[in-house]
Amino acid sequence: MSDLDATTPRVFLARHGETEWTKNGRYTGKTELDLTPDGVRQVTSTAAQFVGHRKLIDPAHVARVWVSPRKRTRQTFRCLFDCSDVSIADNKVTFTEDITEWDYGDYEGLLVGEIRAGRVERGLDKERGWNIWRDGCEGGDSAQQVTGRLDRLIAEIRDIQRPYMNGEKPVDVVVVAHGLILRCFVKRWLGYPLDMPLTLMLSPGGIGILSYKNRDIDEPALFIGISIPPLED
């Protein structure tokens, strides 16, 4: 049995397109930013190639969509599915804070170098350097808080997909969110703590894919490559 069998339920991770702060590396949590024109093009290009009838993300096969309620992710959701030839019913779409970006608290809008320098000035990190996966953010989310909300969402997804592991009906899921929280999502999907070293990348407007090995709900997996469905004749 192929691990690429599309009848096994999948979770598609969609990162929002570029914003001005994405371009310059500023930590963007609750700040409301629009997609740049390039960000819109990133998402619409992804949608044109991968979303639609008999494409990688076939809306007819999607059971649920979870979207972060930030403006940039709402825009991304619309760009992904408005171009599709099959629409997503409103009752399948949930906007939830469970998948919003890590709350950066006092670090909102800062660069990594500025955060680290500020912590040193305040007498922090004397024994080891700051690591968001382990230390969280002053005035914002801790790793434990992020883990809790992601685990809650993952449990809901698995409850939906568990009865259909052998393709009884299509129950793919789409999660539209942010760069850091989606990398956190991957770690928790695989059962890893957030501070486990696992370097992951997901481009703005990009799509990542999770599923299950051997059609087993207890073997969650990360696709490192996937074949693209053939174009319709």
pLDDT, tens only, 38-93: 999 999 999 999 999 888 999 999 999 999 999 999 999 999 998 666 678 889 99
Residue 230 in domain: no
Q: What is the CATH number of the domain that holds 133?
A: 3.40.50.1240
Share of the chain above pLDDT 90, in %: 84
**CA separation for the pair 15, 29 (Å, rounded):** 14
Do 8 and 213 form a contact (C-beta atoms < 8 A)? no
Do 160 and 81 form a contact (C-beta atoms < 8 A)? no
Could you read off the pLDDT of 210-225 as tens digits, one per residue? 999 999 999 999 998 8
**pLDDT recorded at residue 224:** 87
- Output the DSSP codes for 33-59: -PPPHHHHHHHHHHHHHHBSTTSSB-G
Active-site residue, 101 included = yes
Domain that includes residue 172, residue range: 11-222
Torsion of CA 220, 226, 227, 228, to 10 degrees: 100
Neighbour-count burial of 93, counting CB atoms closer than 10 A to its CB (0-12 exposed, 13-18 middle, 19+ buried)? middle
Selecting among 18, 101, 138, 156, the annotated active-site residue is 101
User: What is the residue type of 123?
Assistant: G
Residue 196 in domain: yes
> What is the pTM assigned to this prediction?
0.93
Tally of domains in the chain: 1
